[in-house]
Amino acid sequence: MADSSTNTIFLLLTTLIFTTSCTFYVNGCYTSIISFGDSLADTGNMKALSPKSNGQAPHFLFPPYGETFFHKPTGRCSNGRLIIDFIAESLGLPLIPASEAGKTTELAQGVNYAVAGATALDSSFHEARGVYNPMTNASLRVQLGWFKESLPSFCSTVSGNLPIGCSAAYLTIFYDSDKVQYDNSTGCIIRLNRFAEYHNELLQTELTQIREVHPEVNIIYADYYNAAMQFFRSPNKYGFTNGALKACCGGGGPFNYNPSIACADPSSNSCAQPDTYFNWDGLHLTEAAYRLVFKSLFEGSYTTPRFNSLCPISRSQPVGGLSSSI
């Protein structure tokens, strides 16, 4: 049974949100966030986990990462804030800071366990199939293990995927291939987006089963895929005048992505107006993109159930230049 003194949001792999069935506060919102995931939600854990002296620090620990908001690299794989940051701000909580010592970053009563390069399955599973992840073994199982170790500090007792076919990285890999079909309305790779849709369908099926087993828990599915697709279909409408497919920071080429020249590499280039780009480095989004995806999730109709159905509107406050009702 959950501690009635705390309301917590759990972000699992940056695609779904668990909220405890605790007693709601006056405004119906939450007092802490616990986040699990990969580079879409990592606010500094990879920075804390990276070796300090072998000269192999990840490229996202160097400028121009962080230039737009923090004005320095924080470990976030973007030029500024992530969706998790905007959620924290909308709830009146401080931004999750980058940790300098320890394996988790702290946010008020919550913790961010997300780590760049993390996978849902352990590295051993992938290595047995010839797939190697040089970044980290901070898989979902590992992150949940950290969470279990931390539980005593929280309470005494505790009772979908983005359209990868629109990624500059994959568009570059399959560029000029006669085996690839593209969506005429977006320029995205049809097969890869269908794969992402299939993943999200399976995820929602599992969530339905979890809701039946745990009816006392509010589980919110965040539809990252369709929240993002609206910007790929009409980038200019939302201010992305340089499009949604080309990376702001990268190593050149038709989509400004080169797997051999990462953003922050001395030979890479960075755009002057990142807010006019949807894609940041070929794999991750700009702060402007994350802000609009957040707005679609937190205020719009891209979550099931909708946030406002569990967190009644009681007041408005600005969030990163947006008006967010909480």
Longest CA–CA separation in the chain, Å? 58
CA distances from residue 54 to 57, 123, 295 in whole angstroms, order as listed: 8, 22, 40
Terminal-to-terminal C-alpha distance of the chain: 26
Tens of pLDDT, residues 187-224: 999 999 999 999 999 989 998 998 899 888 788 889 99
Q: Could you read off the pLDDT of 257-305 as tens digits, one per residue?
A: 999 999 999 999 999 999 999 999 999 999 999 999 999 998 889 998 8
Domain ranges of the chain: 28-156, 162-199+225-302
Please report the pLDDT score of residue 163 as a whole number: 93
CA distance linking residue 75 with residue 170, whole number of Å: 23
Concerning whether 214 is annotated as a catalytic residue, the answer is: no
Helix (H, G, I), strand (E, B) or coil at 215: coil
The top-scoring range by mean pLDDT among 45-49, 105-109, 119-123, 242-246 is 242-246
**R_g over Cα of the chain:** 19
Q: Which amino acid is at 62?
A: F
pLDDT score at 250: 97
- Please report, as a single letter, which amino acid is at residue 322: L
- pLDDT of res. 98: 52
Beta-carbon contacts of 205 under 8 Å, excluding residues fewer than 6 positions away, are: none
Q: DSSP labels for 34-79?
A: EE--STTT-SSHHHHHS-SSSS---GGGSTTTTTTTTSS--S-SSS
Among candidates 93, 2, 7, 8, which has minimal Cα distance to 43? 93
For the segment 38-67, the average pLDDT, to the nearest whole number, is 82
Pull the structure tokens for residue 162.
């983005």
Name the pairing type of β-strands 218-222 and 303-304. Answer: antiparallel
- Which of 39, 123, 167, 270 is an active site residue? 39
Average pLDDT, the chain: 79
Q: Is the dihedral of CA 96, 112, 90, 319 positive or negative?
A: positive
- The listed range with the strongest mean pLDDT (10-14, 233-237, 300-304) is 233-237
130 vs 288, higher pLDDT? 288
Q: Could you tell me if residue 3 is left (phi over 0), alpha (psi between -120 and 50 degrees) or otherwise beta?
A: beta
* Percent of the chain residues past pLDDT 70, beyond the cut: 75
Q: Which of 90, 139, 281, 324 is catalytic?
A: 281
Instruction: State yes or no: is 39 an active-site residue.
Output: yes
From the list 38, 284, 296, 324, the catalytic residue is 284
Is 284 labeled as catalytic in the residue annotation? Answer: yes
Strand order in the sheet with 32-35: 105-107, 110-112, 32-35, 8-12, 16-19, 218-222, 303-304
Q: At 7, which amino acid appears?
A: N
Q: What is the pLDDT of residue 97?
A: 60
- CB-based contact 258:265 (threshold 8 Å): no
